[in-house]
Chain A
Amino acid sequence: MIDSIIHFSIRQRWAILLLVLGTAILGAYNYTRLPIDAVPDITNIQVQINTGAPGYSPLEVEQRVTFAVENAMGGLPHLDYTRSVSRYGLSQVTVIFKDGTDIYFGRQLIAERLQEVKSKLPPGLEPRMGPIATGLGEIFMFTVTSDPTARNEEGKPYTPTDLRTIQDWIIKPQLRNTPGVIEVNSIGGYAKQFHVTPYPDKLVTYDVTLRQLMEALDLNNANVGAGYIEKNGEQLLIRAPGQANGIEDLLNIIVAHREGTPILVKDVAEVVHGRELRTGAATVNGEEVVLATVFMLIGENSRTVSSRIAAKLKEINLSLPEGIHANAVYDRTMLVDSTIETVKKNLFEGATLVIVILFLLLGNFRAALLTACVIPLSMLLTISGMVGAKVSGNLMSLGALDFGIIVDGAVIIVENCIRRLAEEQHRHGRLLTITERFEIVFSATREVRKASIFGELIIMVVYLPILTLTGIEGKMFFPMAFTVLAALGAAMLLSVTFVPAAVAIFLGGRISEKENILIRTAKAIYEPMLRAVIAARGAVAAAAVILVMLCLLLASRMGSEFIPRLDEGDFALHALRIPGTSLTQAVAMQRTLEAKLGQIPEVKEIFTKIGTAEIATDPMPPSVADCFIMIKPRHEWANPNMPKSELVDKVMAAAKSVPGNNYELLQPIEMRFNELIAGVRSDLAVKVFGDQMEIMAETAGQIEDVLKQVPGAVDVKLEQTTGLPVLTIAINRPMLARYGLNIADVQEVIEIAIGGKEAGQIFEGDRRFAILVRLPEKLRTDLEALKRLPIPLPQQADNDPKPNRLAYQPESSLARADTIPLGELAEFTLAPGPNQISRENAKRRVVVTANVRGRDIASFVGEAQKRIAEEVTVPPGYWVSWGGQFENLISASQRLKIVVPVALLLILILLFSAFGSVKDALLIFTGVPMALTGGIVALWLREIPLSISAAVGFIALSGVAVLNGVVMISFIKKLIADGMNLDDAILGGSLTRLRPVLMTALVASLGFVPMALATGPGAEVQRPLATVVIGGILSSTLLTLLVLPALYRMFHRTTSRLP
């Protein structure tokens, strides 16, 4: 069949070229549609349900909100599991669906359930689903800042509240409608509020209660419509506006009457532009600002969306008041562009090197050029394939493409065609006729196509195990495996269609078959070596075996990392403070940190999100800050070649010199992934489920102690569940009874006075702001003042006959009071309380996590399970469950145990079908371990751990080894079939194949030199791969040229003597 394809391609060469051109144009079109992002998306299918519960402590949030929401989610179709976290003022339930579930379907189901649950929640609380986005969704961030000289409407410098108002009412509405944007999430500044701040003393003086104040505000701030009347044929609408229009109106609202005198709001309170009790803040380079994160809709192209946002932002800037700027601080476009840049560079350098090497070794520029054409063509075909299969382009998938190896098949074919054409010309002593030429091209292609196709098929087969990975690894590596497979397939297809067709068209003239000096020298060196090796074949075989064994030993002693860390260029530094750190304190500490980090010359900009944003996509307490450190492009560094690790050390050293913070250094996208797939990233997670937090924490503490003692355990961590300082105002019930008060009367005062309560809205055009009744700020924070908070006593009608009235009550000696201070009724105690309450599958949970180093994870888990069962007593009603990455690793390794042998068997079958001889198949197969030796040594020399990208390099290597082996052996066999004796056939075949073997080796290895030395984005994927390939090519070439002929001679001893 392949023969007929080749035949057809040569005959219909122009049609083929046209077809190739057509697919190339299609590929170029598809390139504009290809979703390109920096890294593969590893987020699971999840929906966050956030319920803001202002003022609720973690315990109340869990009891009254989380529990209800979570229970409603039970039994959803395709549900994997639910987890939740209850923090101060926020309940977040995350529903995770099984992979492959349609996210819109899932959200629809959740929306239905949420409808039911609303009635069970405390009034006023509204559960909301988070934005439809993945971990890659945070593609754009910008800050809203003002020039120091800019003045607001009141002629004063802009306040954080002004900036937030501009963000909320000017910028956000415009951005939200940009196609591809699902959410704009603001943090920092203060949402503008009108605060009515009563002074407790004045309330007492005028005998006004907080409740009366609230009611008064409520009754004096509304517009009414009253239908219409008809008059003289006209219809007149009636409205009676009564809304307060600002501070002045609010001040003059009447609260009570005292002896004919109205008591107004201004008599008992002040009205100010207040600050909300915010849960988050943002800073840029040490200044407080407003920061917004733009979320991209699932499945959109981050490059297009973020450039759209950037353009829109530029437009919005024109509409902002003078002196106000919205500046992009994080733009995914840059990262994506550099990803594309990397791929472009690979393409270009690969093509250049191929052309140069082919020209040097073939001495034919046209042949070199048309071989190099295979690189962009297969790339374009691959892109079409990726778009079709909805695989995104990223550093993993595109960065790991090795064009040197991809064009190998084409190189072999072109080389053979040239050699044959030149030979024929030489033989005939004239130019060939068209038919002769086509005949030669056809037979030359046919001669080696088996080898090239088999080589490529084998490489593809070796990739298959990667496709069977699931979970995070699967999501991480599937795009890579798919892309390589697609590129190989495309190259394979091109090598039997485009290559022969192009050779037939373009290599018409005189083919110079001058063996250039390089090849001649190589042959002169090679021949004596080959003879010696064949003579001492036993020793060669033994040396090969020993070498392989030594390398395997070496490999077993090398470190390994499963998932490589993709360099995003910038850093994301988690600054962790002790639970209970206030937002103001955290901002102050963050400013010190930013000032320190800003001194690093390579740092361009630093911005930070502290606490939780408006939409709680990432519910952090105020004690945690996400600090983004944007790095200048390398060429602006003092030393552009400084390794990234050195910069990491610099950043960490600077950060550690700032006291009071703990750090975790990540990268922006990496951090987002961590947040979204929280709880499953560590190797092992022991979860304790139960009812009482104290008992669970104690059991978990015991488990932590045991785990720490199991050999191989590192980073053993107990989830921090307490430590949040809580001021408990414990109301004394007997006291209440004395005064005839209800608990709710006291609680209401506490709630309004300290937390504040909304009493309507103020409208300013389209903008609306809440009116809040709350104590003045300086009293709110003063514990002594809070203790004096007046609680109104029940009104006692004077004419109320009291049966137990004292016999004698001298009015002149009495000081009656209508109120009683809160301190009389309640104890104020400060004690640590629950920090957060985590739940999983609708049950309280405390988790202990651990990683495993230097030990097989399965045996570790076995021992840990046994020891915990023996040493930890779990109280009845409580249970322990095991989870974490290890489940995945175990299932992956079990799957690989089946898939890898199957793949190996497949290769053998392929080889067997190529040669019809098990012996030859096995002979070529022995080449694989030999090829790996060079790769292992190279990795070891560069101190690079084994990783998936190194594994991809090994895969490619095996392919090259097999490819060359097949080419070599099939040639030798052909010579034997032509009647040559064994030794001559081996010698002649090997010498003839020297050039293509050298060519493929040089193309593949030289093409990788820039990658091996790379420092830019994608380097961490490319470096191990390139290192393996360069090292491996050396050993593999030696193998093909020296060991393989020796082995062939060794195992064909008997057969050679017979004929």
Chain B
Amino acid sequence: MNYKAITNAGIIALLLVGGAYVAKGILGIEPATHAEEGGHGGAAAIDNSSKRRGPHGGRYFGDPDFECEVQIYEPEGITPEFHVYFFKDGKPYAPKDAKIVIKLERINRTDTIQFKKEADYYVGDAPVVEPHSFHAFVKVENAGKTYEWKFDSIEGRAEMPDEILARAGVEMVRAGPAKIRQRISLRGRVHLNEQTRTSIIPRYDGIVKAVKKELGDQVQKGDVLALVESNESLQTYEVHAESAGTVIEKNVRLGEFANNQRTMFVVADLSTVWVDFIVHRKDFPLLKIGQAVTLHADEGIESVEATLSYLSPFSAEGSQTMMARAVVPNPKGELRPGLFVTGDVVYAEAEVPVAVKASGLQTFRDWDVVFVRVGTLFEAMPFEIGRRDAEWIEVKEGIPAGTSYAAGNSFIIKADVMKSGATHDH
């Protein structure tokens, strides 16, 4: 009985030990998680330490005996700059001659920023320009020791290999010089060229004996238009054309009494016409005499080139419009006075050193950007827009010549960049 009890106790003890061992094994098992893995290939692995945040909301590095906070200081209206704070044993600490260099490895260049001391922090000597998308390497020398940290701040970036790019039908272009033609479109009406209009009046009253020219006839200067028998001399005299042109008005019939108060014929040269354009207020400053204008009249009438020859010093009250006039050749007579036509005026033309295609322009946050490509990476690159026309946009600042960017179908890139949950995180 005793023996049996001892055996039993032994077995139980053995079981307990074994059980404890297995329990330890079980505790080592991680609970199964079924969360989908998030994230996107765009952002590289982020240095763990950079997830720490300092009292100013900046990135926080180092050990308790020497800690450093790198803050991007960007209150509204100020270009963002780096501020670097130091801490010792958790308390603010401002060494006098720490040497700080931050290198920003951007998609297409590296910015190096030096620092100088200001109050209780160090301030960068160059602004941190947008986009804040870079791998940053922080190097601090203080009291004979060198510290190096790195952190990543990636935004507006997406990776896209060539084959996917080709399938998406994105057109790639390099930024470069372009001719930008800025134009406005004006509406105008065809008028007679008043300078060529002549009115023919019989010198003496009398009876019309013969009418030589009909409405629409071409006449040369000196051509006989009609014969009139003068009441005073009873002589028949010739009425001559004063200028070459077309008979556009005829107020005379055979046997009629011609009166020197009444215009008998009107002759005008229709080989040129006036086009009076209506110019609305905003366009006033753009127009100058001598500017080229291309006329479109539709309905099978060919486009004609002309120049602006007159800008009226007056404006119409009701519509607040000014008149601009061009003398337009009209060899075929198609530009009939009274017709409405459209004229395109190129008011500025310039060769710009760097321009991008208008089809590549996208907005990202509140910036105007194009998506530039380096290697297989795309990144939203903000730039300052200068002059633009329908096809080209001048780059004043932000994109170096030769940069490859997405033009046609660039929306796909924007869609891809934004879907990966771009963050503006400092």
The reply to whether B15 and A945 contact each other, CB–CB distance below 8 Å, is no
Q: How far, in whole Å, are A802 and B318 apart by their CA atoms in the complex? A: 11
Q: In the assembled complex, which residues on chain A have CB atoms less than 8 Å from the CB atom of B194?
A: 812
Which residues in chain B, 140-187, are within 8 Å of chain A measured between CB atoms? 158, 160, 164-165, 167-168, 185, 187
A561 is an interface residue with CB less than 8 A from chain B: yes
The reply to whether B15 and A714 contact each other, CB–CB distance below 8 Å, is no
Stretch from A366-374, A387-395, A550-558, A1034-1042 that touches the partner: A550-558
Stretch from B62-70, B244-252, B276-284 that touches the partner: B276-284
The reply to whether A553 and B35 contact each other, CB–CB distance below 8 Å, is no
Q: In the assembled complex, which residues on chain A have CB atoms less than 8 Å from the CB atom of B416?
A: 659-660
The reply to whether A817 and B321 contact each other, CB–CB distance below 8 Å, is yes
| Candidates A557, A559, A784, A830; contact of B34 at CB < 8 Å | A559
A109 is an interface residue with CB less than 8 A from chain B: no
The reply to whether B33 and A201 contact each other, CB–CB distance below 8 Å, is no
Nearest first, the 4 closest Cβ-Cβ pairs linking A and B are: A559-B32, A660-B415, A815-B323, A817-B319
Q: What are 26 pairs between A and B in contact, CB < 8 Å? A: A204-B340, A535-B4, A536-B7, A536-B8, A542-B12, A542-B15, A546-B15, A547-B19, A549-B19, A549-B23, A554-B26, A557-B29, A578-B414, A659-B160, A661-B419, A809-B314, A815-B188, A815-B321, A815-B322, A815-B324, A816-B319, A817-B187, A820-B319, A821-B280, A853-B33, A854-B31
Residue-wise, chain B 364-407 has the 8 Å CB interface mask toward A (1 for contact) of 00100000000000000000000000100000000000000000
Residues in B lying within 8 Å of A, measured CB to CB: 4, 7-8, 11-12, 15-16, 18-19, 22-23, 26-27, 29-35, 38, 158, 160, 164-165, 167-168, 185, 187-189, 194, 276-282, 312-324, 340, 342, 363, 366, 390, 411-416, 418-420
| Candidates B12, B167, B280; contact of A824 at CB < 8 Å | B280
Q: In the assembled complex, which residues on chain B have CB atoms less than 8 Å from the CB atom of A661?
A: 415, 419
Q: Shortest CB–CB separation between residue A796 and chain B, in angstroms?
A: 5
Q: Shortest CB–CB separation between residue B23 and chain A, in angstroms?
A: 6
The reply to whether A816 and B321 contact each other, CB–CB distance below 8 Å, is yes
Which residues in chain A, 352-367, are within 8 Å of chain B measured between CB atoms? none
The reply to whether A539 and B12 contact each other, CB–CB distance below 8 Å, is yes
Q: How far, in whole Å, are A205 and B323 apart by their CA atoms in the complex? A: 17
Q: In the assembled complex, which residues on chain A have CB atoms less than 8 Å from the CB atom of B31?
A: 557-559, 854
The reply to whether A660 and B168 contact each other, CB–CB distance below 8 Å, is yes
The reply to whether B419 and A660 contact each other, CB–CB distance below 8 Å, is yes
Residues in A lying within 8 Å of B, measured CB to CB: 201, 204-205, 535-536, 538-539, 542-543, 546-547, 549-550, 553-554, 557-559, 561, 576-578, 581, 585, 589, 592, 657-662, 714-715, 725, 738-739, 784, 788, 793, 796, 802, 805-806, 809-810, 812-821, 823-824, 830-832, 851, 853-854, 943, 945
Q: How far, in whole Å, are A714 and B38 apart by their CA atoms in the complex? A: 10
With A553-B26, A660-B412, A817-B278: A738-B320 Cβ-Cβ less than 8 Å: yes
Q: In the assembled complex, which residues on chain B have CB atoms less than 8 Å from the CB atom of A815?
A: 188-189, 276-279, 312, 316, 321-324
Q: Which of A543, A715, A784, A805 has the most CB of B within 10 A?
A: A543
The reply to whether B35 and A714 contact each other, CB–CB distance below 8 Å, is yes
Q: Shortest CB–CB separation between residue A585 and chain B, in angstroms?
A: 6
Q: In the assembled complex, which residues on chain B have CB atoms less than 8 Å from the CB atom of A660?
A: 168, 411-416, 419
The reply to whether A557 and B164 contact each other, CB–CB distance below 8 Å, is no
Q: How far, in whole Å, are A816 and B312 apart by their CA atoms in the complex? A: 12
Query: What secondary structure prevails in chain B residues at the interface with A?
Result: mixed
| Candidates A554, A738, A830; contact of B363 at CB < 8 Å | A830
Q: Shortest CB–CB separation between residue A517 and chain B, in angstroms?
A: 34
Q: In the assembled complex, which residues on chain B have CB atoms less than 8 Å from the CB atom of A715?
A: 35, 38
The reply to whether A796 and B276 contact each other, CB–CB distance below 8 Å, is no
Q: How far, in whole Å, are A714 and B185 apart by their CA atoms in the complex? A: 57
Q: In the assembled complex, which residues on chain A have CB atoms less than 8 Å from the CB atom of B322?
A: 815
Q: Which of A201, A784, A851 has the most CB of B within 10 A?
A: A201
The reply to whether B363 and A657 contact each other, CB–CB distance below 8 Å, is no
Q: Shortest CB–CB separation between residue B390 and chain A, in angstroms?
A: 8
CB nearest to B312 among chain A residues? A813
Q: Shortest CB–CB separation between residue A542 and chain B, in angstroms?
A: 4
The reply to whether B276 and A553 contact each other, CB–CB distance below 8 Å, is no
Q: In the assembled complex, which residues on chain B have CB atoms less than 8 Å from the CB atom of A549?
A: 19, 23
Q: In the assembled complex, which residues on chain A have CB atoms less than 8 Å from the CB atom of B414?
A: 578, 660
With A559-B33, A810-B314: A657-B164 Cβ-Cβ less than 8 Å: yes
CB nearest to B167 among chain A residues? A592
Q: How far, in whole Å, are A853 and B33 apart by their CA atoms in the complex? A: 8
| Candidates B185, B316, B413, B419; contact of A816 at CB < 8 Å | B316
Q: How far, in whole Å, are A536 and B419 apart by their CA atoms in the complex? A: 67
With A793-B318, A815-B316: A592-B280 Cβ-Cβ less than 8 Å: no
Q: Which of A201, A549, A657, A815 has the most CB of B within 10 A?
A: A815
Q: Shortest CB–CB separation between residue A386 and chain B, in angstroms?
A: 32
Q: How far, in whole Å, are A205 and B187 apart by their CA atoms in the complex? A: 10
With A201-B340, A576-B419: A818-B32 Cβ-Cβ less than 8 Å: no
The reply to whether B27 and A546 contact each other, CB–CB distance below 8 Å, is no
The reply to whether A739 and B319 contact each other, CB–CB distance below 8 Å, is yes
The reply to whether A557 and B415 contact each other, CB–CB distance below 8 Å, is no
With A204-B340, A815-B321: A824-B281 Cβ-Cβ less than 8 Å: yes
Q: Shortest CB–CB separation between residue B393 and chain A, in angstroms?
A: 14
The reply to whether B8 and A539 contact each other, CB–CB distance below 8 Å, is yes
CB nearest to A542 among chain B residues? B12
Q: How far, in whole Å, are A558 and B18 apart by their CA atoms in the complex? A: 21
Q: In the assembled complex, which residues on chain B have CB atoms less than 8 Å from the CB atom of A589?
A: 412, 415
Q: Shortest CB–CB separation between residue B425 and chain A, in angstroms?
A: 11
Q: How far, in whole Å, are A474 and B32 apart by their CA atoms in the complex? A: 26
| Candidates A204, A550, A559, A817; contact of B23 at CB < 8 Å | A550
With A815-B279, A824-B280: A943-B312 Cβ-Cβ less than 8 Å: no
The reply to whether B419 and A662 contact each other, CB–CB distance below 8 Å, is yes
Q: In the assembled complex, which residues on chain B have CB atoms less than 8 Å from the CB atom of A714?
A: 35
Q: In the assembled complex, which residues on chain B have CB atoms less than 8 Å from the CB atom of A793?
A: 318-319
CB nearest to B421 among chain A residues? A662
Q: In the assembled complex, which residues on chain A have CB atoms less than 8 Å from the CB atom of B12?
A: 538-539, 542
Q: How far, in whole Å, are A969 and B115 apart by their CA atoms in the complex? A: 87
Q: In the assembled complex, which residues on chain A have CB atoms less than 8 Å from the CB atom of B4?
A: 535
Q: Which of B30, B314, B317, B415 has the most CB of A within 10 A?
A: B415
| Candidates A577, A738, A823, A943; contact of B282 at CB < 8 Å | A823
Q: Shortest CB–CB separation between residue B283 and chain A, in angstroms?
A: 9
Q: How far, in whole Å, are A832 and B363 apart by their CA atoms in the complex? A: 9
Q: In the assembled complex, which residues on chain B have CB atoms less than 8 Å from the CB atom of A796?
A: 318
Q: Shortest CB–CB separation between residue A656 and chain B, in angstroms?
A: 9
Q: In the assembled complex, which residues on chain A have CB atoms less than 8 Å from the CB atom of B278?
A: 815-817
CB nearest to A723 among chain B residues? B418
Given A816-B318, A817-B278, 10 more contacts at CB 8 Å? A550-B23, A558-B32, A559-B31, A658-B164, A659-B413, A815-B277, A815-B279, A815-B312, A817-B187, A851-B35
Q: How far, in whole Å, are A865 and B16 apart by their CA atoms in the complex? A: 44
Q: How far, in whole Å, are A815 and B412 apart by their CA atoms in the complex? A: 47
Q: In the assembled complex, which residues on chain B have CB atoms less than 8 Å from the CB atom of A816?
A: 278, 316, 318-319, 321
Q: In the assembled complex, which residues on chain A have CB atoms less than 8 Å from the CB atom of B281?
A: 824
With A201-B340, A557-B29, A725-B363: A577-B11 Cβ-Cβ less than 8 Å: no
The reply to whether A814 and B314 contact each other, CB–CB distance below 8 Å, is yes
Q: In the assembled complex, which residues on chain A have CB atoms less than 8 Å from the CB atom of B30?
A: 557
With A204-B340, A536-B8: A814-B316 Cβ-Cβ less than 8 Å: yes
Q: Shortest CB–CB separation between residue B83 and chain A, in angstroms?
A: 21
Q: In the assembled complex, which residues on chain B have CB atoms less than 8 Å from the CB atom of A824?
A: 280-282
Q: In the assembled complex, which residues on chain A have CB atoms less than 8 Å from the CB atom of B282?
A: 823-824
The reply to whether B15 and A853 contact each other, CB–CB distance below 8 Å, is no
Q: In the assembled complex, which residues on chain A have CB atoms less than 8 Å from the CB atom of B16?
A: 542, 546
The reply to whether B318 and A943 contact each other, CB–CB distance below 8 Å, is no
CB nearest to B414 among chain A residues? A578
Q: How far, in whole Å, are A585 and B408 apart by their CA atoms in the complex? A: 13
Q: In the assembled complex, which residues on chain A have CB atoms less than 8 Å from the CB atom of B317?
A: 802, 805-806, 809
Q: How far, in whole Å, are A539 and B12 apart by their CA atoms in the complex? A: 5
The reply to whether A820 and B280 contact each other, CB–CB distance below 8 Å, is yes
Q: In the assembled complex, which residues on chain B have CB atoms less than 8 Å from the CB atom of A802?
A: 317
Q: In the assembled complex, which residues on chain A have CB atoms less than 8 Å from the CB atom of B279?
A: 815
